Amino acid sequence: MGKYVIGIGEALWDVLPEGKKLGGAPANFAYHARQFGLEGIAVSAIGHDKLGEEIVEDFEAHQLPYNLSRVDYPTGTVQVTLDEKGVPQYEIKTDVAWDNIPFTDDLRALAKDCKAVCFGSLAQRSEVSRATIGAFLDAVPEDCLKVFDINLRQSFYNAEVLEASFRRCDILKINDEELVIIARMFDYAGLGLEDKCWKIMKDYGLQMLILTCGTNGSYVFYEGGMSYQVTPKVEVADTVGAGDSFTGSFMGSILKGKTVPEAHQTAVKVSAFVCTQKGAMPIVPEELKQ
């Protein structure tokens, strides 16, 4: 098995009412996998600009290794407004650096030594980054775990890209709102929540399906069973990055040899903690990782 745990896709600034915060699911995933002692690396592209420099500085401050190509496009930004419940609404800028991630020799070398990789639908909105993600997935070892964290945003997805991604992943991570959209797109309507999940798993030969339902708990469907966990009640600071911390800590636990229910329990605790903190990359207390 390889040694790297890679998050590949968007790296950007979430521009929130109180200032900007580093965003992008792949970096958050890699960061949280690192908290479990794994070699997490964020892969993306940045512009030749101040915002790009600041992403590098931020990754270094969080001790997050990176492979960031410099390209002739501006570094990505997202305007984030929070509703009265603290739930983020996003306006994602197009034609930015992370839409243009090149497939380099360095990336091929990382792929060949990859233990797990997490990719989403958002970074596949452009042809260039979609081709790079595809080439990366083609280059990983046979036993590399491929996680598709779907991340439907605005209108940046279509059935073709989603279906191709379902076929290429081992583990699908989806939330309850996304499940409704997927059920409509792929004709799973009329099935109950659990039946939908089992059917998606069967249709695409998945090893696992992770379904998060916000305050209504979360499920992991896997060969041999289903794990359900209640969402802990916490004082929410913001929910930005909570889902990525769930995926990162779940995979971190699985790769460290935990059972699915154990990994699930850890992921729930970590993501609840992240909700109590500002921003997506707080330091996770040791006791939550046990």
For the chain, residues with pLDDT lower than 70 are: none
pLDDT of amino acid 165: 98
pLDDT of amino acid 241: 77
- Compute the distance between CA of residue 245 and CA of residue 280 in angstroms, rounded to an integer: 8
Burial 14-40 (b: 16+ CB within 10 A, else e): bbbeeebbbbbbbbbbbbbbbbbebbb
pLDDT of amino acid 249: 94
For residues 122 and 55, is the Cβ–Cβ distance under 8 A? no
Please, what are the domains in the chain?
A: 4-289 (3.40.1190.20)
pLDDT of amino acid 172: 98
pLDDT of amino acid 139: 98
β-pair partners for 6: 41, 117
pTM, rounded to two decimals: 0.93
- Compute the distance between CA of residue 5 and CA of residue 261 in angstroms, rounded to an integer: 21
- Compute the distance between CA of residue 10 and CA of residue 218 in angstroms, rounded to an integer: 25
Residue by residue, what is the 3-state secondary structure of the chain? CCCEEEEECCCEEEEECCEEEEECHHHHHHHHHHCCCCEEEEEEEEECCHHHHHHHHHHHHCCCCEEEEEECCCCEEEEEEECCCCCEEEEECCCCHHHHCCCCHHHHHHHHCEEEEEECCHHHCCHHHHHHHHHHHHHCCCCCEEEEECCCCCCCCCHHHHHHHHHHCCEEEEEHHHHHHHHHHCCCCCCCHHHHHHHHHHHHCCCEEEEECHHHCEEEEECCEEEEECCCCCCCCCCCCHHHHHHHHHHHHHHCCCCHHHHHHHHHHHHHHHHCCCCCCCCCCHHHHC
pLDDT of amino acid 87: 80
pLDDT of amino acid 153: 87
